[in-house]
Amino acid sequence: MQTHNLGYPRIGGNRELKKACEGYWSGKISLHELQSAGESVRRNNWEVQKEAGIDLIPSNDFSFYDQVLDLSMTVGAIPERYHEVILKKGNNELDLYFAMARGYQKDGLDITAMEMTKWFDTNYHYIVPEFKKDQQFKLFSTKVIQEYIEAKNQGLITKPVLIGPVSFLLLGKEKETGFDRIDLIKNILPVYLEVLKKLEDNHVEWVQFDEPFLAMDLNDKEKDALVYTYGEIRKAFPDLKILLANYFDCFGANLKTALSLPVDTFHLDLVRCPSQLDDILESGLLKKRKSLSLGLVDGRNIWKNDYLKSQKLIEKAINAIGSDRIFIAPSCSLLHAPIDLELEDEKGLSAEVKDWLAFAKQKLQEVKELGTLTEEKLAKNQASIQSRNKSKLIHKNEVKERIAGLPESIDQRKSPFSIRQQKQKMALNLPLFPTTTIGSFPQTTEVRSWRAKFKKGVLSKSQYNKNLESETIKAIQWQEAIGLDVLVHGEFERNDMVEYFGEQLDGFLFTKNGWVQSYGSRCVKPPIIYGDVSRPSKMTVDWTSFAQSQTEKLVKGMLTGPVTILQWSFVRDDQPRKDTCNQIALAIRDEVIDLEKAGIKIIQIDEPAIREGLPLRKSDWQSYLDWAVKAFRISASGVQDETQIHTHMCYSEFNDIIENIAAMDADVITIECSRSQMELLDAFGEFNYPNEIGPGVYDIHSPRVPARNEMYALLEKAVQVIPESQLWVNPDCGLKTRGWEETKSALIEMVSAAKLLRESISEPIG
C-alpha cells in the first residue's frame, strides 16, 4: 500500500508566512523577502513529509492567501476592476493578487476586495471567483508549474494539487444574469489542459484533482460537466495518473457518476462517511485497475487515530481489491489541523491529554504506520485510546443531570418579538437607524504585548488591568465623541472570540502553538473540548460593567454563541455534537442572565458559524438546524422582554435557511453585506424578516476606508428592502484585526452616512 497526503498547513510552524505577508503589506519587508519566506515554508513542508515516509507528497498546496484565489489567478479569472493595479509602476503579480483579496486604496485607485465566504462546512474562508457570461479564460499565473519544478529541484517528484474545474466554477458566483456558471466549463477546460501539458513536459506522474462538490447535491448538468471534463482530460493525457479527491462527506447520489470517470484513484473521506467504503465495494462499479485512497486519519480534528477501527476498513478494502490498489491518506487536506504537537509543552497540555492527540505532523506518522501496522504499534495506539476512554477528566455528573432535566420551555422568550420590540424602544430610546459596531476594536501591538507580559508574569495583574481600563476608557470616550449610539467596550482583554470563553469554561483545553489558518494571514488557535462543559464563574460581567460605568450611553455585552464555540473548537468525538452544544448553551445562558442582573440592557451573542455547521446535503439539514437553533435560543431566552438580544453572522448565504434564522428569534441580527453589495439582504426582504437587522456597510477584512457616500448608497439599497424601523447601521464584523487609523476614519464616515440617511428619510429613497 502506498501513502499520500492531500495538503499540508502553509502558515509555518511559527506562523512565518503570516508575519511575512503582514510585513510586506505594511512595507516593512521587500517582495524578495516575502517570496523567500514562502519558499522556506514550502521547502520545510516537503522535507517534513519526506521524512515521515509519505510516498506521494503534494505540491501547489501552498498559498500566500487562498488556494481558490490562486486558481483564479492561474486561469485568468481576474475581474476588470483590478486590471489597473498591475499597470501601476512598481506593482507585481502578488500586488494584484493581494488587491483581489484585500482591496486596493492607493495610487489614486480605490478598489473593493472580492467576496469571501466559508470553505464548505469549515472555518476556512476562500475568495469567491467572479464570472461573466461567455467569460474567456487564459493561463495567467504558472504557480502550479513553478512549484512542481521547485520541488523537483529539491529532489522530490510531487503530486500537484488542483481544484477541479467543476468545483472551481461552482465555488464562484455569476456577476451577470442570464447564464449558469457551469456553462463556462468548455471555456475554462483549455487552460487546465495547458497547465497539464506544461506539467507533462516536466515529467509529472500524478495529479490530484479536488472535486469536493461531489459531496454536495449536484444536478444533471453539473454531473454531465464532470463526465465531459475528465473525459477530455483523459483523451488529452492518456498516461497521466489522476487522483480524484472528494472529502467532507460521501459521494452519495453522485457515486455512479464519480465511479464512471476515467481516473486512476478515488479518494474517500472515511472519517466523515465510513459507510461509503461498503457502498463502493458492493456497487460493482469500481472497475479493475482503479484504486482507492482511504482517508482514515482525521484531517479536521486533533484526536489520535484509533488504529483498530482503521485496520478493519483497510482489511475490508484489501480483501475486496488487493493491497496494491489501496492508498492510505488523511481524510482531507491537513490545512485544517495545527502543525506540530511537539511544539506544545506540559504547561498547556498535560502528558495524559497530549497522549490523546495528533497534529498535522503526527497525522503523517499515523498515515505511514497504518500502511505498515505492526502488533507493537497497534498495542501502543490502543493504550492511548483506552486511556482517554477511561479518563476521569472527561465526565461530570452535575452537567449531565442539568442537561437531562431541562424544561421544554427553556428556549422560549417570555413574549413574542412584537411585544418585546415596543418595550425595548421605550427602555432603550434609540434614534432611527441606530449605529453600533460588532464588538472588538483594534488590538495594537502594545495591547498584545501587555497580554504576553501578563501571561509570562512580567506584568502584575493589577497593572495589566489598569492598562486595559485605560484603553477601555479611551475607546468609550472616542465612541461618544463620534456619535455612535450603542457602544462596545472594545474587548481589549480578549485574545480570541472563542479562546477567551473556552479559557474560562470547564471542559476546555488550550494549546500554545496550535494555530490554524482562517483566511489570509488570519490564524486562530481553536480550543480543544475534551470533556463536559460548565461555567465555574462569571466571564464578562466585570469588564462590561466597568465600560458601562464610564458612559450614559448603552454598552453592549459581548458573548460568543454556543454553536460558534462548538464549530470553532476541536470537539470531543465520544458523544453527539448536539449534547456538547447544549452544555455550552447553558454556560452562555448563565452569563447572559448575570449580565442582565448587572444592568446591561443589550447583549450580543455572536453566531457567525451557524451556517457553516450545515451538513453538505440538504436532506441532512433539518436535524442540525433543529438543535443548533434551539441551542442559541437556550443561551438567549433567560432574560426579560426589555433586554435586547443581538446576534451577528458573517460570510453566510441565508436564502435557504432564512426561516431558521428567523426562528432564532434574536431581537437584532447584524450580517455581512458590503462585499456582496447588499445581495445577502435580499433573502431577508423576500422572507419579510420580522425582527431588526443591521446589514454591514463596510468590509472590515480590507484595509481600505470607504467614503460616506459609498456607505450611504448601501444604506439606500437596504431601506428598499428593510423597513426603516428595523434597520441598524454597523460594519460587517469585529475590528480587532484592523488598525486604529483606518478604523476611526471608517467609523466616522459610517456615523455620518447614518445621520445623512436620517436627514433624508422624509424624502423618497432611491
Distance, CA of 103 to CA of 480 (rounded, Å): 29
Q: Is 27 annotated as a binding residue?
A: no
Q: Is 18 annotated among the ligand-binding residues? A: yes
- Cell numbers at 527, concatenated: 480550543
- Ligand-binding site membership of 733 (annotated): yes
Q: Is 401 annotated as a binding residue?
A: no
Q: Is 648 annotated as a binding residue?
A: yes
38-70 tens-digit pLDDT: 999 999 999 999 999 999 999 999 999 999 999
For the chain, list residues with pLDDT below 70.
Answer: 651-653, 674-680, 762-766
672 annotated to a ligand binding site: yes
Neighbours of 310 (CB within 10 A): 23
> Does the annotation list 581 as a binding residue?
no
Residue 118 annotated in ligand binding: yes
What's this model's pTM, rounded to 2 decimal places? Answer: 0.89
The Cα 440–Cα 88 span in angstroms is 35
Q: Is 673 annotated as a binding residue?
A: no
Burial bucket for residue 373 (CB in 10 Å: 0-12, 13-18, 19+) = middle
Pick the CATH number of 421-760 from 3.20.20.210, 3.40.50.180, 3.30.70.1170, 3.30.930.10: 3.20.20.210
pLDDT at residue 680, rounded to an integer? 66
Which amino acids are annotated catalytic?
A: 701
Helix axes 143-153, 185-201, angle to 10 degrees: 20
Residue 440 annotated as part of some ligand binding site: yes
Residue 747 marked as a ligand binder: no
Residue 326 and residue 206: Cα distance in Å, rounded? Answer: 15
Half-sphere exposure of 186 (CA within 13 A, CB side): 6
Determine the residue type at 180: D
Q: Which residue has the cell 481600563?
A: 469
Q: How many CA atoms lie within 13 A of 242 on its CB side?
A: 26
Interatomic CA distance for residues 490 and 492, integer angstroms: 6
Helices (H) and strands (E) in the chain, counts: 28, 25
Q: Check whether 428 is labelled as a binding-site residue.
A: no
DSSP 57: -
User: Residue 316's pLDDT is what?
Assistant: 97
336 marked as binding residue: no
**Do residues 41 and 10 lie in contact, with contact meaning Cβ atoms separated by under 8 Å?**
yes
Per-residue model confidence as pLDDT tens digits over 567-596? 999 999 999 999 999 999 999 999 999 999
How far apart, in whole angstroms, are the C-alpha atoms of residue 550 and residue 204?
A: 65
CA distance 35 to 44: 14
> Do the annotations mark residue 438 as ligand-binding?
yes
Q: How far apart are CA 501 and CA 197, in angstroms?
A: 51
**CA 643 – CA 423 distance, rounded (Å):** 9
Q: In the numeric block, which cell numbers belong to residue 46?
A: 516537503
Residue ranges of the domains in the chain? 80-110, 421-760
Query: What is the rounded distance in angstroms from the CA atom of residue 32 to the CA atom of residue 41?
Result: 14
Rounded to whole angstroms, the Cα distance separating 54 from 47 reads 10
DSSP class of residue 696 equals: B
Beta strands 522-524 and 516-519: pairing type? antiparallel
Q: Residue 523 annotated as binding?
A: yes
Please check if 617 is assigned to a binding site. no
Q: Within 10 Å of residue 414's Cβ, how many Cβ atoms?
A: 12
17 is in an annotated binding site: yes
